[in-house]
Amino acid sequence: MHTSFEEIRDGFQALRFDGTALGLIDQRLLPAEERWLRLTDIDGVITAIADLVVRGAPAIGVAAAYGAVIAARSRGNDLAGWQRDMQRLAQARPTAVNLVWAVERMRAVVSESGCLEPERLAAEALAIHRADIAANLAMARAGSEWIEPGSGVLTHCNTGSLATGGIGTALGIVIEGVRAGRVERVYADETRPWLQGSRLTAWELARAGVDFQVIVEGAAAALMASGAVQWVITGADRIAANGDVANKIGTYALAVLARYHGVQMMVAAPSSTLDPAMASGQGIAIEQRDSAEIWRAAGLEAQPPGFAAWNPVFDLTPAELVDCIVTERGVFRPPYDFSQF
């Protein structure tokens, strides 16, 4: 079973599955080098998710689904061993709800049949991938219609094809807005410390033929004050039932700046990112990563002796700072209530 989609419509495909191995473009090396990794065991998939070879909540979910297939093929009739693999897989990135969601989808298939059936699992993984592509397209169309013609937009982190199974969430809306003539100016926030904006979003925008400019994060307030942007559009790694958003660190700061400057804030994510059991963002675990990442971004190999850093990878944006949330089910406005999703 091969994943084969039309890239013009669906976006660049950063995940490829041939039935036995998962192909991932190593996002850590972009834009300098486009290197593909071929993963043939569950340990490789878990490491790729943990080490940011693949990142972005929807893409992590798709990768996890294919990882479940790979694990099933290697385990044979060892159902208990496969379940242990799924437990480790679900813990690879604690904040991205799509990861656990995908693992539970695959577990449900096994629970229904009572045994490991790799072909059934492969069909489910492909369905998850195809559903994400369709969700991306639906979000791109719905979200772009809310943007006034002639607008400028600022996006944060990376939310395009590299972060999803299709055209993207927030970046899909931006690209669709450009194609529809609604978006005239595009700005990509560099997004430290991994620089997903200046490395990955910029790479995707250039690939899509979209004119854009990269800004350092400290320039966001001045950019908004200049009147050049009317929307901040970001993705999400988890959205609580009340609309609180967990997303890449720096999203909260942009939302506060946007409210002060009269700029609207849009969050785009598939419904699988909604966590109806999480009453508010206060219950969401915020992943802390190695502080050495900050020093590596400055060209240093490791954290210098005597130096210290605080390195949360996500922050929480209160629902009251979000003007609209876009999913494949439509555009939602406050007050938010996703408790029944």
Q: What is the pLDDT of residues 192-204, one digit of tens each?
A: 998 999 999 999 9
CATH superfamily, domain 140-332, is Translation initiation factor eif-2b; domain 2 (3.40.50.10470)
* Domains in the chain: boundaries: 7-136, 140-332
What is the rounded CA–CA span in Å between residue 67 and residue 100?
A: 13
* pLDDT digits 0-9 by tens, 314-332: 999 999 999 999 999 999 9
Q: Do domains 7-136 and 140-332 have the same CATH topology?
A: no
What is the rounded CA–CA span in Å between residue 3 and residue 1?
A: 7
Q: Does 237 participate in catalysis according to the annotation?
A: yes
Residue 95 has pLDDT above 90, yes or no: no
What is the rounded CA–CA span in Å between residue 200 and residue 195?
A: 8
What is the rounded CA–CA span in Å between residue 210 and residue 108?
A: 41
CATH of 7-136, one of 3.20.20.140, 3.30.428.10, 1.20.1740.10, 1.20.120.420: 1.20.120.420
* pLDDT digits 0-9 by tens, 32-55: 999 999 999 999 999 999 998 998
- Residue among 189, 188, 185, 179 at smallest CA distance from 145: 179
Pick the catalytic residue: 10, 189, 237, 275?
A: 237
Is pTM beyond 0.75? Reply is yes
Place of tokens 């991306």: 136
* pLDDT digits 0-9 by tens, 212-231: 999 999 999 999 999 999 99
Q: Count CB neighbours of 39 within 10 A.
A: 22
Print burial letters for 230-261: b (CB count within 10 Å at least 16), e (below 16): bbbbbbbbbbbbbbbbbbbbbbbbbbebbbeb
